[in-house]
């Protein structure tokens, strides 16, 4: 019998009941909530006259709707100008209070994007099952936790039962061999990988990222990687536990302490795939093949290297792909074969649960230090992932570097990643964005998103178009 | 939840791969706190020529005449014929809510994104997977006018095509039962509450740090 994958271990240790029909009742250790996907779940809970199964397993914070302008934040919830956004944030507040769920509210320094907050607080720990009504919950897999996005019905299910009914996924390993070149980041690995396997390539799988290049990444880099597992179709991404993982969790507010810590660490060290574990699918990527990535289309798989070009019709091997290319080019206002570096930009967004942590901001600040945002750029935004990331960045003077270069320095939230608040693209505008989705209208009606790493976004803001960060200074 | 046993209705072809949930229901409509009322904004960016906003009168907005759902013959469609990886992207359950609110009860595609697929079953919508060749055949039939309506029979797991063809589909038995009976799966899970408690008691010994309840 072959050994177990990390996913096998996480799955097996959470089975409450294995059923004959192939489904299993799976226990959920932690549940994160935000204002957009929870109101109907709380309503369902109330209508059924139920109470949360385990209140202390839940943590909430508003992120999708919150304004990022300081003036609009000062008055808290009441200061949110959009009445519908305000209502959602209010309802989260009321629901958490009624059910006794801890919430990092708008005025709390710990508020932020839910997937930045979880790891930052030490809520996210190796070996846990974690869910949230948000597809980017896969982020938490970077710490060796089985973390998945769920719909609102399942939010209610978890609130009510602390469990989910699931069928086990298959195992995929994406192994990234060799060392990344200078200027190539975790974001480029994951965009490249999505380009290789496609946006549905991971459907039905849990993806473990491994290999030399992944082992060399920081935990924050691994979060970027796992964050976008869902863009490859996989509900969960994973990275094996190593010394960096344990070091990262140590001392965080919700991390185990004292003797409990020692016991936990001993267990966490077993959370790696066994050497003889069987993966249903293996994808090998050579680091040397990864250059800084830029998406040119309306799906994350429509991606190429910064020295590349928009593909041409004759490169597409099916009618469906030609149709998708035609549609994407028309929406994006690009031509077949156009050079990526010729794409002129209107806005730049550095933020989102993919790339708004302190390392992202440090890397971007280093690129823009002493330089100015190109005059053709209408707006360049930096939105820290949480109040604590913001505080740390300000202590390091990063805010001043961004402001001096002509960026706006904002309050934490999801912001322009999905444009539910006032931060959005205008029709036809091209944006270099460190977020995760380039779907039509995602960042604003008619907006044109190009997904890139923080250093690529920063350099592009200065140049006004895409530039190869490796050859740029 | 509304049960799904057998359903016959008009089928509308949406010939486009990788339809994401942002396209099914754009973000500005996610600010609602109820599960209903999303129908007028289903595929908002494709159906209308302007940018939709919640609370506006959608009947006066400029319609995109090229979008298939705006064609008279498809306005009462209840079955959606789609392409691969339908429902990718965000986990928003507002996507199936919008489809249901418009009137859709079944979606036929060669593949679905996982979270969306799962969300459909929670709302009485049957997402069913057919081989790509059969989906192609249905697209051709619908576009040529040969096929206007389909019948989907969940119990016998077939799609009945007017030409007489019966297309078999597979479905997970647990999901099938829940959908056929319109079961409340939370209620079902709560029937296992002793097992859940037993699991917790065991885990408290194995991984006690998970039960320190610092969030209490």
The answer to whether the CB atoms of A135 and B199 lie below 8 A apart is no
Chain A residues whose CB is inside 8 A of the B93 CB are 37, 40, 133, 151-153
DSSP code, position A280: S
Q: Is residue B78 within 8 angstroms of chain A, CB to CB?
A: no
The answer to whether the CB atoms of A200 and B84 lie below 8 A apart is yes
pLDDT at B3: 93
The answer to whether the CB atoms of A57 and B26 lie below 8 A apart is no
* E strand or H helix that includes residue B92: none
Using one digit for the tens of pLDDT, what is the confidence trace for B20-35? 999 999 999 999 999 9
The answer to whether the CB atoms of B195 and A323 lie below 8 A apart is no
pLDDT at B1: 84
Integer Cα distance of A354 and A416 in angstroms: 12
Beta bridge partners of B30: none
Q: What mean pLDDT comes out for the span A396-401?
A: 98
Beta bridge partners of B12: B80
What pLDDT band is residue B214 in, cutting at 50, 70 and 90?
confident
ipTM over the 0.90 cut-off:
yes
pLDDT at B213 over 80: no
Percentage of the residues of chain A whose pLDDT score is greater than 70: 100
Taking the CA atoms of chain A, what radius of gyration do you get in angstroms? 21
Q: What mean pLDDT comes out for the span A61-73?
A: 96
Q: Which one of A153, A267, A427 would you mutate to disrupt binding with B, by most B Cβ within 10 Å of its Cβ?
A: A153
Integer Cα distance of B75 and B102 in angstroms: 9
DSSP A31-56: EEE-TTTSHHHHHHHHHTT---S-GG
User: Considering chain A, what is the average pLDDT of its residues?
Assistant: 97
Q: Which residues contact residue B198 at a Cβ distance below 8 angstroms, ignoring those fewer than 6 apart?
A: none
Integer Cα distance of B108 and A283 in angstroms: 30
Among A43, A133, A441, the residue with its CB nearest the CB of B26 is A441
Among A40, A327, A445, the residue with its CB nearest the CB of B33 is A40
Q: Residue A115: name the closest of A211, A229, A264, A25 by CA.
A: A229
Q: What mean pLDDT comes out for the span A378-397?
A: 98
Among A157, A235, A445, the residue with its CB nearest the CB of B189 is A157
What pLDDT band is residue A473 in, cutting at 50, 70 and 90?
low
pLDDT at A91: 98
pLDDT at B120 over 90: yes
pLDDT at B80: 98
Please identify among residues 31-60 of chain B the ones whose CB lies closer than 8 Å to any CB of chain A.
31-35, 45, 51, 54-55
Looking at the complex, report in whole angstroms how far the Cα of residue B28 sits from the nearest Cα belonging to chain A.
6
Integer Cα distance of B203 and B210 in angstroms: 8
Q: Residue A186: name the closest of A141, A223, A149 by CA.
A: A223
Among A17, A87, A151, the residue with its CB nearest the CB of B33 is A87
Q: What mean pLDDT comes out for the span B116-124?
A: 97
Residues of chain B by 3-state class (helix, strand, coil), percent to 5: 40, 15, 45
pLDDT at B163 over 90: no
The answer to whether the CB atoms of B27 and A254 lie below 8 A apart is no
Chain B residues whose CB is inside 8 A of the A53 CB are 196
pLDDT at A61 over 80: yes
Residue linked to tokens 């973390």: A147
Chain B residues whose CB is inside 8 A of the A16 CB are 192, 195-196, 199
Domains of chain B: 6-183 (3.20.19.10), 185-216 (no CATH)
Residue of B2 and A246 predicted with greater confidence: A246
DSSP A192-259: HHHHHH-TTTTTTEEEEEESHHHHTS-HHHHHHHHHGGGGGT-SEEE----HHHHHHHTT-TTS--HH
Please identify among residues 86-115 of chain B the ones whose CB lies closer than 8 Å to any CB of chain A.
88-93, 96, 111, 113-115
Using one digit for the tens of pLDDT, what is the confidence trace for B75-104? 999 999 999 999 999 999 999 999 999 999
Q: Residue A34: name the closest of A125, A112, A145 by CA.
A: A112
Chain A residues whose CB is inside 8 A of the B54 CB are 84
Query: What predicted TM-score, i.e. pTM, was given to this entire model?
Result: 0.97
Using one digit for the tens of pLDDT, what is the confidence trace for A133-178? 999 999 999 999 999 999 999 999 999 999 999 999 999 999 999 9
The answer to whether the CB atoms of A25 and B85 lie below 8 A apart is no
Among B33, B111, B174, the residue with its CB nearest the CB of A88 is B33
Integer Cα distance of A221 and A363 in angstroms: 12
The answer to whether the CB atoms of B34 and A40 lie below 8 A apart is yes
The answer to whether the CB atoms of B111 and A260 lie below 8 A apart is no
Q: Is residue B16 within 8 angstroms of chain A, CB to CB?
A: yes
pLDDT at A1 over 80: no
Q: Which one of B90, B94, B96, B216 would you mutate to disrupt binding with A, by most A Cβ within 10 Å of its Cβ?
A: B90
DSSP A126-182: TT-EEEESSGGGGGGGGGT-EEEE--HHHHHHHHHHSEEEEEPPEEEEEEEES-PPT
The answer to whether the CB atoms of A200 and B15 lie below 8 A apart is no
pLDDT at A199: 97
What pLDDT band is residue B216 in, cutting at 50, 70 and 90?
low
Contact A204, A174 (CB under 8 A): no
Integer Cα distance of B165 and B52 in angstroms: 41
pLDDT at B184: 82
Inter-chain contacts counted by CB atoms under 8 A, chains A and B: 199
> ∠ CA A357-A363-A368 to the nearest 5 degrees?
120
**Distances in whole angstroms, Cα of residue B197 to Cα of each of A28, A161, B187, B200:** 13, 10, 16, 5
Q: Residue B56: name the closest of B48, B66, B65 by CA.
A: B48
pLDDT at A232: 98
Which chain A residue has its CA at the smallest distance from B22's CA?
A442
pLDDT at A161: 98
Among A87, A233, A327, the residue with its CB nearest the CB of B113 is A233
Integer Cα distance of A153 and A133 in angstroms: 9
Among A36, A162, A440, the residue with its CB nearest the CB of B196 is A162
Q: Is residue B140 within 8 angstroms of chain A, CB to CB?
A: no
pLDDT at A182 over 90: yes
Question: Three-class SS of residue A268?
Answer: helix
Among A40, A82, A440, the residue with its CB nearest the CB of B23 is A440
Which chain B residue has its CA at the smallest distance from A261's CA?
B209
Percentage of the residues of chain B whose pLDDT score is greater than 90: 92
Using one digit for the tens of pLDDT, what is the confidence trace for A74-102? 999 999 999 999 999 999 999 999 999 99
The answer to whether the CB atoms of A260 and B212 lie below 8 A apart is yes
Q: What mean pLDDT comes out for the span A14-26?
A: 96
Q: What mean pLDDT comes out for the span A418-429?
A: 96
Cβ neighbours, 10 Å, residue A364: 28
Q: What mean pLDDT comes out for the span A377-405?
A: 98
Chain A residues whose CB is inside 8 A of the B22 CB are 418, 437, 439-442
Question: Three-class SS of residue A330?
Answer: helix
Q: What mean pLDDT comes out for the span B128-138?
A: 98
Integer Cα distance of B67 and B71 in angstroms: 7
Among A22, A58, A133, the residue with its CB nearest the CB of B91 is A133
pLDDT at A348 over 90: yes
Looking at the complex, report in whole angstroms how far the Cα of residue B66 sits from the nearest Cα belonging to chain A.
14
């Amino acid at each position: 019998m072959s050994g177990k994958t990390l996913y096998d271990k996480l799955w097996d240790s959470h089975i409450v009941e294995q059923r004959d029909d192939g489904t299993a009742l799976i226990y959920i250790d932690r549940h994160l909530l935000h204002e957009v996907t929870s109101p109907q779940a709380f309503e369902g809970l109330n209508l059924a006259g139920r109470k949360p199964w385990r209140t202390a397993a839940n943590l909430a914070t508003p992120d999708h709707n919150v304004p990022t302008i300081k003036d609009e934040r000062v008055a808290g919830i009441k200061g949110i100008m959009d009445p519908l956004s305000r209502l959602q944030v209010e309802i989260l507040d009321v629901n958490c209070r009624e059910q006794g769920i801890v919430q990092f509210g708008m005025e709390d320094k710990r508020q932020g994007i839910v997937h930045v907050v979880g790891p930052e607080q030490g809520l996210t720990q190796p070996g846990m099952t974690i869910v949230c009504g948000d597809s980017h919950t896969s982020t938490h897999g970077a710490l060796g936790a089985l973390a998945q996005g769920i719909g609102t019905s399942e939010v209610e299910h978890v609130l009510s039962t602390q469990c989910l009914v699931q069928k086990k996924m298959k195992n995929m390993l994406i192994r990234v061999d060799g060392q990344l070149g200078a200027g190539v980041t975790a974001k480029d690995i994951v965009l490249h990988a999505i380009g290789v396997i496609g946006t549905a390539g991971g459907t039905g799988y849990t993806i473990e990222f491994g290999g030399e290049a992944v082992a060399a990444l920081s935990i924050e880099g691994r979060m970027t990687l796992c964050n976008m597992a869902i863009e490859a179709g996989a509900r969960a991404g994973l990275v094996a536990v190593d010394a960096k993982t344990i070091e990262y969790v140590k001392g965080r507010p919700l991390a185990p302490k004292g003797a409990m810590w020692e016991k936990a660490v001993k267990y966490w060290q077993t959370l790696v795939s066994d050497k003889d574990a069987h993966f249903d699918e293996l994808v090998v990527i050579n680091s040397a093949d990864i250059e800084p990535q830029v998406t040119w289309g309306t799906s994350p798989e429509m991606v190429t290297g910064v020295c590349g070009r928009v593909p041409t019709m004759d490169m597409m091997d099916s009618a469906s792909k030609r149709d998708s290319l035609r549609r994407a080019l028309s929406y994006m206002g690009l031509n077949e074969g156009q050079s990526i570096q010729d794409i002129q930009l209107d806005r730049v967004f550095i933020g989102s649960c993919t790339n708004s942590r302190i390392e992202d901001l440090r890397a971007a600040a280093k690129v823009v230090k002493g330089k100015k945002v190109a005059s053709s750029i209408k707006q360049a935004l930096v939105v820290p992932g949480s109040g604590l990331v913001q505080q740390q960045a300000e202590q390091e003077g990063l805010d001043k570097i961004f402001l001096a270069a002509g960026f706006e320095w904002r309050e934490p939230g999801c912001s322009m990643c999905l444009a539910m608040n006032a931060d959005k693209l205008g029709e036809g505008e091209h944006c270099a964005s460190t977020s995760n989705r380039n779907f039509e209208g995602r960042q604003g009606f008619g907006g044109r998103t190009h997904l890139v790493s923080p250093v690529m976004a920063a350099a592009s803001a200065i140049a006004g178009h895409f530039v190869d960060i490796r050859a740029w200074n | 939840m509304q049960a799904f046993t057998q359903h016959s209705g008009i089928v509308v072809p949406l010939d486009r791969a990788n339809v994401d949930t942002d396209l099914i229901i754009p973000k500005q409509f996610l600010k609602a706190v109820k599960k209903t009322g999303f129908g007028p904004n289903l595929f908002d960016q494709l159906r209308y020529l302007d940018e939709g906003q919640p609370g506006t009168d959608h009947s006066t907005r400029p319609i995109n005449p090229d979008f298939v759902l705006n064609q008279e013959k498809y306005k009462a469609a209840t079955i959606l014929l789609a392409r691969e990886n339908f429902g990718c992207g965000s986990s928003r359950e507002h996507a199936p809510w919008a489809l249901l609110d418009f009137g859709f009860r079944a979606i036929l595609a060669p593949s679905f994104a996982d979270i969306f697929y799962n969300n459909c079953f929670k709302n009485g919508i049957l997402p069913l997977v057919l081989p790509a060749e059969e989906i192609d055949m249905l697209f051709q039939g619908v576009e040529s006018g040969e096929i206007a309506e389909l019948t989907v029979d969940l119990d016998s797991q077939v799609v009945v095509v007017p030409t007489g063809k019966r297309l078999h589909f597979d479905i997970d038995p647990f999901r099938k039962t829940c959908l056929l009976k319109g079961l409340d799966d939370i209620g079902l899970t709560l029937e296992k509450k002793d097992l859940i408690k037993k699991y917790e008691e065991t885990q408290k010994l194995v991984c006690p740090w998970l039960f320190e309840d610092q969030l209490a």
